[in-house]
Amino acid sequence: MSEDFSSGCAFVDGAYVPIGEARIPLLDMGFSRSDCTYDVVAVWEGGFFRLDEHLDRFARSCDCLQLSAPGREEIRDIVFGCVRRSGLREAYVEIIATRGVPRAGQRDPRLITNRFYAYAIPYVWIANPAQQERGLNLVVARAVERISPRAVDPTVKNFHWGDLVRGVFEAYERDADTVVLLDHEGHVTEGPGFNLFAYCRGTLLTPAEGVLHGITRQTVLDLAARERLPCRVLRFDESLLRDADEIFLTSTAGGVMPVVRLDGEPVGDGTPGPLTSQLRALYWDAHRAGPWVTRVDY
Ligand SMILES: Cc1ncc(COP(=O)(O)O)c(C=O)c1O
């Protein structure tokens, strides 16, 4: 009987397995020490979106952490292999490089053979289309701040989510959908799986520092440049959020997601703003055809 990959397909130890059967060794330091990096790329209507940019970011992340991973062409083959086997037209595709499993008593990270994993599962939404139509209720975390970029470089995609998960609990306690964290000086950074934008007095603003350089963030900046919309990437004081006519969040897992309430107060008129809706439409249009799409032959 052939294997059933319809819930997703993983690549582990050089073999493709159904996602429900994929396992990592308990002693992999990616798990026990968060000593790993990853990337996530979307497949939409049967095409990868900005695959090259995701592979570039992953290669840089591996370099920064002194992790080795398969070569670019091999990773391409693997992610196509996962998506093809799953048959998914809309997929969330993750690649992970971990430090690996140390020999008994071994402490020196340089001596451990690194491991590589990949998988494709059905597309993941941070906020689903119905929630996006309504718009999200966002809070600024008060109980937790973002881990210092001097401790964990946020431009290297990582699993150090302790602060972000505490923020999610705070959001739920405050009857909100999600949360954005400030740095130790009170500047706005990012949230659990997304970057943030605000539209203030005709200019689109997004934090420069303390954030992952999201591919969706870059896509919004590219689309805004195409539309000749003024943009600034800046140190983002919290007061800018209070001034904003519109706020939205960006992620590979959900695209451009409107925020309609901030700390319980309406943003603009309390409905998804016109610029946000326009950018959201342009974002999904760019997934259907054009230079950012790489088709999968199933
Ligand atoms: C902490 C963090 N910031 C931002 C993002 C958005 O990045 P991208 O647009 O590349 O998905 C993510 C995505 O997972 C993330 O984990």
| Domain 129-288: which CATH number of 1.10.10.60, 3.40.50.300, 3.30.950.10, 3.20.10.10 | 3.20.10.10
Query: Ligand 1 mean position to 4 CA, how many Å?
Result: 30
Note the pLDDT of residue 1: 53
CA of 14 to the centre of ligand 1 (A): 27
- List residues near ligand 1 (CB under 6 A): 40, 190, 193-195, 212, 214-217, 250-252
Angle between helices 51-64 and 215-226 (to 10 degrees): 130
Is residue 260 predicted with pLDDT exceeding 90?
A: yes
Taking residues 222-227, report their average pLDDT: 98
Does 109 have pLDDT greater than 60?
yes
Does 9-122 match 129-288 in CATH topology? Answer: no
Residue of the nearest CA to atom 1 in ligand 1? 193
C-alpha span between 275 and 258 (Å, rounded): 10
Tell me which of 61, 159, 252, 292 to substitute to probe ligand 1's pocket, judged by most ligand atoms within 8 Å of the beta carbon. 252
| Nearest protein CA to atom 14 of ligand 1, as residue | 193
- pLDDT band for position 2 (cuts 50, 70, 90): confident
Q: Domain 9-122 classified CATH 3.30.420.40? A: no
Q: Is the pLDDT of residue 15 over 90?
A: yes
- In the predicted structure, residue 12 carries a pLDDT above the cut 70: yes
Mean residue pLDDT across the chain: 97
Average pLDDT score over residue span 98-121: 97
Mean pLDDT value of segment 247-265? 98
pTM attached to this predicted model: 0.98
Would you state the pLDDT for residue 21?
97
% pLDDT > 70, the chain: 100
Residue found under tokens 């600024």? 140
**How many CB atoms sit inside 10 A of residue 125's CB?**
16
Sign, Cα dihedral of 221, 129, 193, 5: negative
Write the residue with the smallest CA distance to atom 8 of ligand 1: 214
Q: Any idea where the domains of the chain sit in the sequence? A: 9-122, 129-288
